[in-house]
Amino acid sequence: MDGSRVCGGARRRSGAHLWCPEAAEADPVSERPPCGTPKGYKRHLRAKQEPCRQCRDAVAAYIAERRAANPDHRVRAARAAAARRVAMRRLMALHTGEYASLLRAARREAGL
């Protein structure tokens, strides 16, 4: 290998690191997702930048479309939150001393 990039995110995630001449010749700057798209939004976040207005609007529109397509999303999310609260109460009951200690430390860190 000559140090060229690996081709394909799916291959990279699966661990099959294959050398690809197309990836080696590609210009990484021109391949960046454009602003005004959800991928552009993620690019901003990966670069630790504040997303621009176009990207924030694109993500908001994407989320609105997904919620409209999945009307029972709020019901499922509410049930998941209730399940987390039940699990947290059970965990606190099992580890009362540790929970109290962690809570005191978190309050100190928050200045409370």
What is the SS3 assignment for 19?
Answer: strand
Tens digits of per-residue pLDDT, 86-110? 999 999 999 999 999 999 999 999 9
Kindly list the domain boundaries of the chain, sorted by start residue: 1-31, 32-69, 73-109
DSSP notation for 50-108:
PPPHHHHHHHHHHHHHHHHH-TTHHHHHHHHHHHHHHHHHHHHHHTHHHHHHHHHHHHH
Tens digits of per-residue pLDDT, 23-53? 445 545 457 788 999 999 999 999 999 999 9
Q: What is the DSSP letter of 26?
A: S
Per the model's pLDDT, the better-predicted residue between 32 and 5 turns out to be 32
